[in-house]
Amino acid sequence: MRKALVIGASGGMGYAIVKELVCRGIETVAFARDGAKLEGLFGKEELVAIQPGDAENAQQLIEAAEGCDVIFHALNIPYSQWKEKLLPIVKNIIKAAEMTGAKLAVVDNIYAYGKSSAKLLSEDTEKRPHTKKGKIRLEMEQLIFNSDVPAFIAHFPDFYGPNATNTYMHYTLNQIVWKNKAGYVGPKTIAREFLLTTDGAKAMVTLALHPKAYGQNWNIPANRTITGNELELLIKNELGEKKSLYSISKPMFAFFSLFAGKDMREGLEMQYIANEATILSGSKYENEIGPLPRTSYEKGLRETIQYMKNGKD
């Protein structure tokens, strides 16, 4: 891979993917709506070409993808826009890949799996989405794999990291950095996964460079599972004993959503993920590709908090 396009480069995972590509010496086109934000994030990177644009405009995507070997789809749009915009945007991205001959690497969540009785979700676990958003993600997957574009999809749990502002973990950390108490969405006793974006980006780029990755789904788990109580202890170690987390239950989330914006109300149906263990298996990746990137929560939280303190979030 000599050149890549990252769609959604100003978001958490997109930012991390651009940084990882640059670290590997790969010329990168950073594509997002906000040109000023792109300039602030990547203006000093010699290997990065900043390309403001709208993924709803297929021609802009085609022009941005010209000469690229791989298109990374890391765009995240608000929940309230999924029904109207998500699938048309995916169709535009597929068209851009078809027109330019690029391969496609897709960042995805775990919504398409739906509720599962399996202790570990493998790529062979049947996808039975029970939410509107899960059904849209499954339809997206079918669009991609039914196209003629060589593509793979990487499924990630909730993530956190520098510039990853549209996440539940960011909500918690952004509060706790500046206050002594912060809300934690879900019970503090349930073991969950939070993937550091830099680990996710390393896995994505490694897959994109591996010929056997295409035409398949890949699950990318976090370093390990962690409870809210364990997270609270790590935060205390990093920021001081006065810091504490309180649990935001599903009824509390529902109540807050009555007074919040449409996106929070749309997020209510996804609260099952915060209220039960939904853990990914990384055995396929490790057996077929190699060791997964696994940064400790201690180091990942320290890097993320420092990024926030520096005023970059």
Q: Are residues 138 and 258 in the same domain?
A: no
Q: Are residues 37 and 131 in the same domain?
A: yes
Looking at residue 258, its pLDDT comes to 59
Confidence of residue 137 (pLDDT cuts 50, 70, 90): very high
How are beta strands 151-155 and 195-196 bridged, if at all? Answer: unpaired
Looking at residue 5, its pLDDT comes to 98
Q: Are residues 261 and 124 in the same domain?
A: no
Least confident of 145-154, 221-230, 255-264: 255-264
Does any domain span residue 182?
A: yes
Mean per-residue pLDDT, 146-158:
97
Q: For residue range 161-204, what is the model confidence (pLDDT) as tens digits?
A: 999 998 989 999 999 999 999 999 999 999 999 999 999 999 99
Confidence of residue 139 (pLDDT cuts 50, 70, 90): very high
Looking at residue 277, its pLDDT comes to 78
Q: Are residues 211 and 286 in the same domain?
A: yes
Q: What residue numbers bound the domain in which 49 lies? A: 3-161+194-223+278-295
Residues in Cβ contact with 28 at an 8 Å cutoff, skipping those fewer than 6 apart: 3, 4, 5, 6, 18, 21, 22, 45, 47, 48, 49
Looking at residue 260, its pLDDT comes to 66
* DSSP output for the chain: --EEEEETTTSHHHHHHHHHHHHTT-EEEEEES-HHHHHHHHTT-TTEEEEE--TT-HHHHHHHHTT-SEEEE-----GGGIIIIIHHHHHHHHHHHHHHT-EEEEEE-SGGG-S---SSB-TTS-----SHHHHHHHHHHHHHHTSSS-EEEEE--SEE-TT--SSHHHHHHHHHHHSSEEEEES-TTS-B--EEHHHHHHHHHHHHT-GGGTTSEEE---SS-B-HHHHHHHHHHHH-TT-EEEEE-HHHHHHHHTTS-HHHHHGGGGTHHHHS---B--HHHHHHT-PPP---HHHHHHHHHHHHHTT--
Looking at residue 259, its pLDDT comes to 61
Confidence of residue 261 (pLDDT cuts 50, 70, 90): low
Q: Are residues 106 and 231 in the same domain?
A: no
Looking at residue 252, its pLDDT comes to 73
Q: For residue range 32-49, what is the model confidence (pLDDT) as tens digits?
A: 999 999 999 999 999 999
- Kindly tell me if the per-residue pLDDT of 94 is higher than 80: yes
Does any domain span residue 74?
A: yes
Mean per-residue pLDDT, 237-252:
90
| Higher-confidence position of 259 and 216 | 216
Q: Are residues 121 and 239 in the same domain?
A: no
Q: Are residues 174 and 239 in the same domain?
A: yes
**For residue 212, what is the domain's CATH number?**
3.40.50.720
Does any domain span residue 307?
A: no
Does any domain span residue 265?
A: yes
Q: Are residues 260 and 115 in the same domain?
A: no
- Kindly tell me if the per-residue pLDDT of 248 is higher than 80: yes
Looking at residue 80, its pLDDT comes to 87
Confidence of residue 275 (pLDDT cuts 50, 70, 90): confident
Q: Are residues 155 and 33 in the same domain?
A: yes
Does any domain span residue 97?
A: yes
Query: Based on the structure, what is the number of domains in the chain?
Result: 2
Does any domain span residue 261?
A: yes
Q: What is the mean pLDDT of the chain?
A: 93
Does any domain span residue 13?
A: yes
Q: Are residues 12 and 138 in the same domain?
A: yes
Q: Are residues 64 and 134 in the same domain?
A: yes
Looking at residue 119, its pLDDT comes to 75
Looking at residue 48, its pLDDT comes to 98
Q: Are residues 8 and 51 in the same domain?
A: yes
Least confident of 93-97, 156-160, 164-168, 206-210: 164-168
- Kindly tell me if the per-residue pLDDT of 148 is higher than 90: yes
